[in-house]
Amino acid sequence: MKQDVGTMTRADASAATGHVSREEPLQLKPAPSEGPVVLSLTNANLGFGQRTLWHDLTLDVHAGEFLAVLGPNGSGKTSLLKTILGQQQLDAGSISFDGHPVRRGDRRIGYIPQQRIIPQGTPMRARDMIALGVNGHRWGLPISRREDRRQVDELIDAVGARRYATVPVGNLSGGEQQRLRVGQALAGDPRLLLCDEPLLSLDLQHQRGVSELIDRRRREQDSAVIFVTHDVNPVLGMVDRVLYLAGGQFREGTPDEVLRSDVLTDLYGTPVDVIRSGGRIVVVGIPDSETHQHHAETHQHSAESAPHSEPKA
């Protein structure tokens, strides 16, 4: 079922780049690539010390476009998000959002982080958490205005959290908490949604629920989506374009253009196989970085050790 959706909309994605779509009727809405540019990177360089994360990165992200950012640990996926959020300066090149250089705390950029369990007993209910997205940046006495409450109600409905709006957040499941984070990010009508592995450690059902929320937002409101993930499969049906980062280089294009054995072999400089099976994509033979070897060694002892050894890039 899910796999069918995957293949079907990939055809849709290629329609956006000019190919003829067979499964879907022509849409009246213009393809995302024809929409206005929301985010633009020009000849951007970023590195730490001797190591280059990426250089000469030139990229336009259009309104309503779904860009997946893929790549191994430490390839600079998170740093890219930090750069867009204005928390990280480029070494060279430029980056602009909506025609202006990016700045910290732009409320037209929504940010959805990885799922982290909120401890039980946190003095906050679901609607309070969403309210933080609406007025959490405001100083002064914590009195909510009527307009704020109306907006919070809208967001609660938008992410389907009505049923548990007054339940303490610490009592919610990971997937429910993640929906609330989407709600927080949607406050302020973002033109761009930055998602940093938002599906990590969710079960399949919630993976689909959360990714559909994000997808619906960009379809209905034309927000651009930049979606960092280590596994493209849960969102394969939604992706218009892929940015693949590895070893200081990058490849960019539709999933069909980038997720191919020859392209990734060229990018990694070593034989890599991309296997497509039933609408899923599996990449095999990614060269072992230090962390990968570490995984292989410790895997027997503890499958949980992986997250700790991940270098934050």
Partner 1 sequence: MIVHLASSDLWSQLFNFSNYGELLALVKNSIFAGAVLGIIGGLIGVFVMQRDMAFAVHGISELSFAGASAALLFGVNVVVGSLGGSLLAAILIGLLGSRARDRNSIIAVLMPFGLGLGILFLALYPGRSANKFGLLTGQIVSVDDPQLGWLMAISVIVLIGLLVMWRPLSFDSLDADVAAARGIPVRFISLAFMILLGLAVAVSIQIVGALLVLSLLVTPAAAAMRVSSSPFVVPLLSVVFALVSVVGGILLALGGALPISPYVTTISFLIYLVCRLAGTRKATGGARQRLDRQLALKA
Strands 192-196 and 109-112, sheet pairing: parallel
Quick one: 176 or 215, whose CB is closer to partner 1? 176
Task: Quote the Cα angle for 248-253-255, to 5°.
Answer: 105
Quick one: 99 or 140, whose CB is closer to partner 1? 140
Tally of CB atoms within 10 A around 163: 10
Quick one: 22 or 138, whose CB is closer to partner 1? 138
In whole angstroms, how close is the CB of 222 to partner 1 at the nearest point? 21
In whole angstroms, how close is the CB of 93 to partner 1 at the nearest point? 22
**Rounded to a whole number, what is the distance in angstroms from the first to the last CA of the chain?**
35
In whole angstroms, how close is the CB of 85 to partner 1 at the nearest point? 5
Quick one: 118 or 267, whose CB is closer to partner 1? 118
Taking alpha carbons only, the member of 269, 187, 219, 301 closest to residue 35 is 219
Quick one: 29 or 163, whose CB is closer to partner 1? 163
- The residues that touch partner 1, with contacts defined as CB under 8 A, are 85, 87, 104-107, 109, 111, 113, 116, 118, 120-125, 128-129, 132-133, 135-142, 163-164, 167-173, 176, 181, 184-185, 194
Query: For residues 136 and 48, what is the distance between their CA atoms, to the nearest angstrom?
Result: 33
In whole angstroms, how close is the CB of 227 to partner 1 at the nearest point? 15
Give whole-number Cα distances, 308 to 112, 187, 305, in Å: 21, 32, 6
In whole angstroms, how close is the CB of 266 to partner 1 at the nearest point? 34
All residues at 6 or more sequence positions from 188 whose CB lies less than 8 Å from its CB, including other chains? 107, 108, 110, 133, 134
Quick one: 18 or 119, whose CB is closer to partner 1? 119
All residues at 6 or more sequence positions from 93 whose CB lies less than 8 Å from its CB, including other chains? 41, 42, 43, 44, 45, 56, 57, 58
